[in-house]
Amino acid sequence: MHTTEVAAALKGAKHVAILTGSGISAESGVPTFRDAQTGLWSKFKPEDLATPEAFRRNPKLVWEWYAWRRELVTGAQPNAGHLALVELEQRVPEFTLITQNVDGLHQRAGSHNVIELHGNINRTKCFEEDIAVTEWKETGDSPPRCPRCGGRLRPDVVWFGESLRPEAIEGALMASRRCDVFLSVGTSTLVHPAASLPFEAAEGGAIVIEINTDTTPLTARAAFQLRGPAARVLPELLRAAWPE
């Protein structure tokens, strides 16, 4: 299929930029963002919990939802898709991994140059002061309180309606415009500004490749689409480009 052509493009690339979404962590057992939630949480929509308004309205509910997700992520292991991207970083001259995922699985797999567009669920910050907090007293409050100002603590992730860190989005935009091959992996390409990155790459002349189990708004614009789970497609691609 397209694998041979995509493998040749990767092999010849000077700078590869990648955008990943929650689909790459699906085989690690972390549900994708828009997947039906399970168990206790099935009656809530993620879009209704991941907002500052939801936190103001019911901080305990939002904190506990993230605590549940943090536990899921802590118990999960990077999969063959994450590992293929670690290998790719070693194979190509310049490599930028941009992720919308907050699960930290790319870094746990061993990727180095990672831009976390939406933060990381394992970090915590103060809702009032917006500064990182690494230690606090467990007093039974849920969420716990900031040791400096007594404000509520929240996960250090970007919620709907919040801005991305300027250095993260600027770095991602620069890499997308400068790369010669761009891979979009396991993302629905719905949430902006991340969703604009593959289109910026295409504008800049990069070969854009989509790896997804389904179609997305990017599909028609991508030069190549590889259908299937990232944990299978990415290792296949690496082996096609660099056979042992």
Closest approach, Cβ 77 to ligand OAD, in A, equals 15
Contacts (CB under 6 A) with ligand OAD, residues 57-96: none
- Exposure string (b/e) for 59-79, b if CB count within 10 Å is 16 or more? bebbbbbbeebbebbeebebb
Q: For residues 152 and 144, give the distance between their C-alpha atoms in angstroms, rounded to a whole number.
A: 6
Q: Give the x-and-dash track for 179-218 against ligand OAD (CB under 6 A).
A: -------xxx-xx--------------------xxx-x--
Q: For residues 43 and 133, give the distance between their C-alpha atoms in angstroms, rounded to a whole number.
A: 31
> Which of 9, 19, 27, 104 contacts ligand OAD by CB under 6 A?
27
Q: Characterize the bridge pairing of strands 207-212 and 181-185.
A: parallel
The verdict on whether 106 is a catalytic residue reads no
Closest CA to 206 of 24, 22, 10: 10
Contacts (CB under 6 A) with ligand OAD, residues 215-234: 216, 229-230
Q: Give the x-and-dash track for 4-23 against ligand OAD (CB under 6 A).
A: -----------------xxx
Indicate the residue among 29 and 147 with the shorter CB distance to ligand OAD: 29
Residues that bind ligand OAD (rule: CB under 6 A) add up to a total of 24
Q: For residues 130 and 157, give the distance between their C-alpha atoms in angstroms, rounded to a whole number.
A: 11
Contact 116, 103 (CB under 8 A): no
Number of neighbours of residue 236 by Cβ within 10 angstroms: 16
* Residue 50 interacts with ligand OAD (CB under 6 A): yes or no: yes
Locate 216 and state its tokens: 């997305």
* Cβ-proximal residue to ligand OAD, closest one: 23
The active-site residue out of 15, 106, 118, 192 is 118
Closest CA to 107 of 118, 95, 120: 120
Contacts (CB under 6 A) with ligand OAD, residues 104-123: 118
| Chain contacts with ligand OAD (rule: CB under 6 A) | 21-23, 26-27, 32-34, 50, 100, 118, 157-158, 186-188, 190-191, 212-214, 216, 229-230
Q: Catalytic site residues?
A: 118
